[in-house]
Amino acid sequence: MHRHEPPVTARPIGIVHEDSDLIVINKPAGVPVHPAGRYNYNSVVEIMRAERGISWNPMPCNRLDRLTSGIMFIAKHAKAAEEMGVQIKTRTVKKEYIARVKGEFPEGDIECSQPILQISPKLGLNRVRANGKEARTIFKRLSYIPPQKGTKCESIVSYSAPMSTPEEPKSERELQREAKMSWAKKEGYSIVRCFPLTGRTHQIRVHLQFLGHPISNDPIYCNQRVWGQNLGKGGEGEDEDIIARLSRMGKDEVAEAVAYHDEMVEEYNKRKAEKMTGELCSICDTPLYSDPGVHELGIYLHAKRYACEEGRWDYETPLPDWALPPAIPAIEDVVDTTPEIPPLVDTIRGLNLESTTKAAEAYEEGCHFEAAQ
């Protein structure tokens, strides 16, 4: 069989819990759940089928974006899939996400209740719009990491690729890119806990962008070439212009998020990015893409914890590497870090929300979450 398929991360699918009904997995970033588009065998369903036997039929009970990592439920049979699906749809599952966002996120409990509308299904673009569907998310800053002081690289480097040192001259192209992004290099980043109360597509990503703190390596919502210098804060930008620019990403242009510049990934790693090469396969005439770089295989968004409101089960993953306190800056540079994350129910009860809506009342009682990535 001759076919083309994009590569995905080699990181294995982690097993958080397994019983006779369900497998709770820690999905790696960059791996789609189902075969779709150009992805077939490089998907959670097909990878698990290959590991456990071709006759086995994994049944995902919840969804995560390809670029998002974290907890997923894989049912072993139809009854288990139906039962878990009902729990998720009826908002009886509490969920917590962790995100790494651009700049210094404000302290306290930040609520975003802006409605979300799907602008372009083909491009996967969603935006805050008055005529959109109701969407509510609570955010709570976990820590703020200021930019490094006293060095030319003023942001934390999270990639393993070697970077240019002061002794190594930078290429002209690298210097031009850094100059264009100089406004974004001095902001640092924040680790934020995200508690979605509704389940709209890209809800967390869209709400963070609207607040002016997009996920710092999000190729859609933190892309300066698409959104301009303010990165869509407050819903800025006309839909037609955004769609036109976004449609070129990954084809004529590389989809570059702020973090690709802000964290100064070396020029080699920037060049190694997915886009159309302009060439065709000599066998089937399929348009060929370059391979994605390591920095394109995921975003800083992780489904960290899922818990049944009735207390029957509670599953949690460790913090991803990108959310851990950095080793580069001095410890005093890390602002408001939380050495131990308090229980989810304590955080929920501590949020000051209006009790005039059903969702808020449920929130004060420590229940009724609906996830959104």
The whole-number pLDDT of residue 36 equals 77
Q: Using one digit for the tens of pLDDT, what is the confidence trace for 14-31?
A: 999 999 999 999 999 999
Strand, helix or coil for residue 333: helix
Mean pLDDT, to the nearest integer, of 343-366? Answer: 43
Task: Provide the mean pLDDT of the chain.
Answer: 77
The whole-number pLDDT of residue 254 equals 45
Q: Using one digit for the tens of pLDDT, what is the confidence trace for 115-130?
A: 999 999 888 899 999 9
pLDDT classification of 1: cutoffs 50, 70, 90: confident
User: Using an 8 Å Cβ cutoff, are 148 and 123 in contact?
Assistant: no
pLDDT classification of 81: cutoffs 50, 70, 90: very high
**How far is 176 from 181, CA to CA, in rounded Å?**
9
User: Using an 8 Å Cβ cutoff, are 125 and 320 in contact?
Assistant: no
Q: What percent of the chain has pLDDT over 90?
A: 48
- pLDDT at residue 357 is higher than 90: no
User: Using an 8 Å Cβ cutoff, are 129 and 115 in contact?
Assistant: yes
The whole-number pLDDT of residue 366 equals 40
Higher confidence at residue 5 or residue 55? 55
The whole-number pLDDT of residue 71 equals 97
Higher confidence at residue 221 or residue 341? 221
- pLDDT at residue 79 is higher than 70: yes
- pLDDT at residue 255 is higher than 70: no
- pLDDT at residue 280 is higher than 60: yes
What is the rounded (10 degree) CA torsion for 40, 44, 47, 50? -100
- pLDDT at residue 295 is higher than 60: yes
Residue type, 7: P
Give the residue from 17, 1, 14 showing the smallest Cα distance to 306. 17
pLDDT classification of 291: cutoffs 50, 70, 90: low
The whole-number pLDDT of residue 370 equals 37
**How far is 49 from 125, CA to CA, in rounded Å?**
31
Global pTM reads 0.73
pLDDT classification of 364: cutoffs 50, 70, 90: very low
**How far is 146 from 291, CA to CA, in rounded Å?**
33
Mean pLDDT, to the nearest integer, of 160-180? Answer: 51
Give the residue from 231, 258, 218 showing the smallest Cα distance to 99. 218
- pLDDT at residue 349 is higher than 50: no
Task: Give the least confident one: 33-47, 51-65, 98-112, 182-196.
Answer: 182-196
- Residues tagged active-site: 65
The whole-number pLDDT of residue 326 equals 78
User: Using an 8 Å Cβ cutoff, are 151 and 185 in contact?
Assistant: no
Token pair 């802000």: residue: 262
